[in-house]
Amino acid sequence: MSDETREPVKRLFFALGCAPEQRKAIARWRGELRLRSGRPVPAENFHLTLLFLGAVDVAQIAQICRAAAQVRTPGVALSVALDRLEVWRRAGALVLASEQPPPALLRLVYALEQAMLPFGLEEAPKEFRPHLTLMRDFREPVPESATPPEYVLRADRFTLFESHKGRYRALAEWPLVPA
């Protein structure tokens, strides 16, 4: 198929957003680490990815949204502790990770994975490891921190985001708590 006849695509992922005041606090904490390696993720892009979909035909987005709307949610807002600073060498990322992910978060991710299976978007889902990416192209050891990371990401909804030229745009969102 030639490029001219291919459907337009968008790079999509499901995530929990990060409140503006928390993004600022995390960015300030990251600044105190005095990092000399990698590229900082813009604070406005901080989020916790639930499921990366990759390149999706624009024509499929409405169906994906209908499937996401049917996902069984926890029925409560989620609180995810971001209490570990880790370097993911293969990905070249410095991340805030969760020592003990809440079971409700793991169930939500599994439900999303199951709901997206009919779309055949990702051959083999990777093991879910909740995290917030601080830096990309990071090739140093885990930096020392004067104050340990003690953030709790709270979310009452999950969102379908589009990634375009380094910026993330919310396309749709669904409550975790019934109205």
Alpha helices in the chain (DSSP H): 20-32, 61-69, 103-116
**Measured CA distances, 26 to 15, 18, 148, 175 (Å):** 17, 10, 11, 25
Rg (CA), the chain: 17
Q: In this structure, is the dihedral angle defined by the CA atoms of residues 158, 159, 160 and 166, taken in order, positive or negative? A: negative
Catalytic residue set? 47, 131
Residue with tokens 């005095």: 34
Hey, how many other C-beta atoms are within 10 angstroms of the C-beta on 113? 16
Q: Look up residue 15 and give its amino acid.
A: A
What the block records as the tokens of 23 is: 């993004």
3-state secondary structure at position 95: strand
